[in-house]
Amino acid sequence: MILPMNNTFLKRIDPGALLSFIIPLFVYLLTLAPTVTFFDSGEFVTAIASLGSAHSPGYPLFISYAKPFTWLPLGNVAFRVNFATAISAAAACYGVYLLVCHLLAGEEPVGSWDHPLFRKGVAVGAALAFGFTPRLWLQSNHDKPYPLVAFMAAMVFYLLLLWRDRYREGDERPAYVYLGAFLCGLAFGAHQTIILLLPAYAYLLLSLEWRLVTRVKEMILMLFFGLAGFSVYLHIPLRASRKPLLNWGDAGSLSQFLWHFLRQGYPVEKPQRDLALLWDQINAYNVPHEFTWVGMALMLVGMAAFIGRRRDEVLAYAIALLFFLLVIVGYFNTPGEMVFLTEEFFTPLYLLSAVFMGLGIYALLLAGFNRFPRGKVSAVPVLLVSALLALGLPAYLCARNYYENDQHENYIAYDYASNTLRSLSQNSSLFTWGDSGAFPLWYLQGVERMREDLALIHTPHLVFPWYLDGFPELFGKSSLRSAPLETMNPDNILLVAISEQIGRRPIFVDFSTRYSVTFPDFSLQQWGICYRLLPKRVGVIFPPDISLWQYYTLRGLYGDEMPFRDLDTGKAILIYANAALEEGELLMKLGKKSQGMESLGRAVLIAPELRTSAQQILLQPGVR
């Protein structure tokens, strides 16, 4: 027997809410990365798969949120985590829709054309505009915690608006505030930038009734619920005691937990600030870049139009922006080459920007249709015109940003890692340098169980005793155990580690390590995109192993095969090209002309900008 559909349930479904979630999710899935990517991807996926701890401050909420997705029968584990991020990004778009609808719900209808569907259409347009910004889109198609933070920030904002509405009606509901405090504490486990929104949240509370600060009981309860959410951080010491696959900081003790939580492993020398650096730091928050100048204008119109009726909400946004800039720009004083990392921190502010853009669209349409006499405008053409105006900007943003955010064929990081692992000798040690050169390898070895015989050693971490503890066979009796590691240069620690191991196992370094450290006591034999270290032999040149290239998978390296190119993807492509160029130069000097020409040709095919360098090699004495 077929049961009839529950009409009451269907009536409760908000089609606008569905559209604001499903449309971005559909587009995100079309452009979703199929596997591991660069930057923190491999590390995050490894931590999620093992329920471990990622780099400081650990991200326990993001890890716990994404873990159930790893059980889905879809693709590999990295793809499932990417899918989890797409879900959270679509949820953040829904957060925009919810806020716009709530803020417009308090507006009195101004004509027969001011239909609820009209307002919902405006809210959907704002949600989609946020969804197709390059920042959120980039965060949606591979594993990132920032969309999850943005969604939770929107929910806290919404709860405070509900509390304010009930408070004005004389029906105070402190449960809204307590739930908001819990979500703030919980969101801290996704990313610490949620703390920069606390002044704005506090303003929304106290601007309505400043005497709330004198209610000791309510304040204690609010703090209690905030700490209850923050207790997600218990994940780190509890899991550290179980020694998971990725156990960053080994934060099982209180002192080590504080070291991990407070980011004490990342000392950064702050640069001398000048006007150019200051501008780059401020420009990390760039509304015109994300929404175009039209979107910026719509946001300002919305703020100006609603400043009278929604003054506190507008000022809360301004307060949030001020604190973000004071901390991220003023206190952090990020070096110029690292400014791009701070761009991701502003995602919650972009969400609020989209909300005011929605209000701006509504205000402009309101002003336009009010020029017509009442009763002279029917609802149908108004809805059509409104839909065109509200959806025009997100359609443009989608078309403009689709190509550069399309990662559905992005196998660069996966192939880079698998090519490296497959090419190394049995039971080797590989020393890596940059995060992007190490994290994809961690994922392939730890999660996909590829080449578990290898020891993957990340050189910058050799200064930490907890990291040495993870390699008892290599460093259990090492002289590094008694050395003052924190005062030593990583280059010297690397040379000590290599000297202790080179007689016992094959030693390799990746391309970044090769050009970050000098090896005066060793000879280097090029090994594809890696180098094998051998005892120094005066006058002996070890020819490169050219056979490795036939086993490499090189998807997306040639021409414009893969549209997406972030900073480290571009670097990986250049590593292939420069490795081929260096290989070709050495082969030509050794008299192996045909093989050298093949390598030079490969370098130019991968990176056409190296054509001049290849031609110069051919003009060297003894080569031509």
Q: How does pLDDT run across 490-505, given as a tens digit for each residue?
A: 888 888 889 888 888 9
pLDDT of res. 259: 87
CA torsion 334-280-344-444 (nearest 10°) is: -70
- Using CA atoms, how far apart are residues 403 and 245, in angstroms rounded to an integer? 36
Q: Minimum mean pLDDT among 21-25, 95-99, 209-213, 258-262: which range?
A: 209-213
- How far, in Å, are 199, 437, 492, 502, 509 from residue 489 at the CA level? 41, 20, 5, 20, 17
* E-assigned strand segments in 170-213: none
Sign (positive/negative) of CA torsion 247, 253, 257, 260?
Answer: negative
Among 17-26, 364-373, 557-566, 584-593, the range of highest mean pLDDT: 17-26
Backbone angles phi, psi at 455, to 5 degrees: -105, 110
What would the pLDDT profile of 203-212 be if each residue is shown by its tens digit?
Answer: 999 988 788 8
Element spanning 478, H or E: none
Say yes or no to pLDDT of 107 above 90: no
- Using CA atoms, how far apart are residues 168 and 186, in angstroms rounded to an integer? 28
What token pair was written down for 102?
């709530």
Name the residue type at position 351.
L
Say yes or no to pLDDT of 622 above 70: no
Tell me if 194 sits within 8 A of 184, measured CB to CB.
yes
Q: Which class for 266: exposed (0-12), middle (13-18), buried (19 or more C-beta within 10 A)?
A: exposed
Average of per-residue pLDDT values in the chain: 87
- Give CA 75 to chain center in angstroms: 21
Among 84-88, 517-521, 620-624, the range of highest mean pLDDT: 84-88
Provide the percentage of residues in the chain whose pLDDT is more than 90. 46
Closest to 70 (Cα-Cα) out of 410, 510, 495, 448: 448
pLDDT of res. 265: 77
Mean pLDDT of 69-87: 94
Give one DSSP letter per residue of 71-82, joined into a string: GSSSS-HHHHHH
Closest to 353 (Cα-Cα) out of 96, 34, 139: 96
Residue 600: which residues within 8 A CB-CB, separation 6 or more?
A: 580, 581, 584, 585, 588, 614, 617, 618
What would the pLDDT profile of 27-43 be if each residue is shown by its tens digit?
Answer: 999 999 999 998 889 99
Element spanning 534, H or E: strand 530-535
pLDDT of res. 1: 43
Answer yes or no: pTM beyond 0.75. Answer: yes
- Using CA atoms, how far apart are residues 445 and 58, in angstroms rounded to an integer? 21
pLDDT band at residue 356, thresholds of 50, 70 and 90? very high
- Using CA atoms, how far apart are residues 230 and 237, in angstroms rounded to an integer? 14
What would the pLDDT profile of 544-599 be if each residue is shown by its tens digit?
Answer: 888 888 889 888 887 666 677 777 888 888 999 999 999 988 888 888 888 888 88
- 3 state DSSP class of 457: strand
- Using CA atoms, how far apart are residues 501 and 498, in angstroms rounded to an integer? 5
Name the residue type at position 66.
A
What token pair was written down for 362?
């509504």
pLDDT band at residue 384, thresholds of 50, 70 and 90? low
Closest to 616 (Cα-Cα) out of 600, 598, 595: 600
Mean pLDDT of 421-447: 91
- Using CA atoms, how far apart are residues 530 and 524, in angstroms rounded to an integer? 10
pLDDT of res. 357: 93
* E-assigned strand segments in 137-265: none
- 3 state DSSP class of 530: strand
Backbone angles phi, psi at 545, to 5 degrees: -85, 95
Pairing between β-strand 507-510 and β-strand 530-535 as defined by DSSP bridges:
antiparallel
Say yes or no to pLDDT of 376 above 60: no
Pick 349 or 492 by higher pLDDT. 349
Q: Which class for 7: exposed (0-12), middle (13-18), buried (19 or more C-beta within 10 A)?
A: exposed
Q: 525: which strand partners? A: 532
pLDDT of res. 196: 94
Mean pLDDT of 135-161: 93
What would the pLDDT profile of 294-345 be if each residue is shown by its tens digit?
Answer: 999 999 999 999 998 899 999 999 999 999 999 988 888 888 878 888 888 9
Name the residue type at position 320.
A
Residue 114: which residues within 8 A CB-CB, separation 6 or more?
A: 366
What would the pLDDT profile of 468-522 be if each residue is shown by its tens digit?
Answer: 888 888 888 888 888 887 778 888 888 888 988 888 899 999 999 998 888 888 8
pLDDT of res. 112: 56
Mean pLDDT of 340-358: 92
| Residue 4: other Cβ atoms inside 10 A | 6
Say yes or no to pLDDT of 364 above 90: no
- Using CA atoms, how far apart are residues 240 and 337, in angstroms rounded to an integer? 33
Say yes or no to pLDDT of 405 above 50: yes
Mean pLDDT of 69-80: 93
Say yes or no to pLDDT of 48 above 90: yes
- Using CA atoms, how far apart are residues 532 and 502, in angstroms rounded to an integer? 10
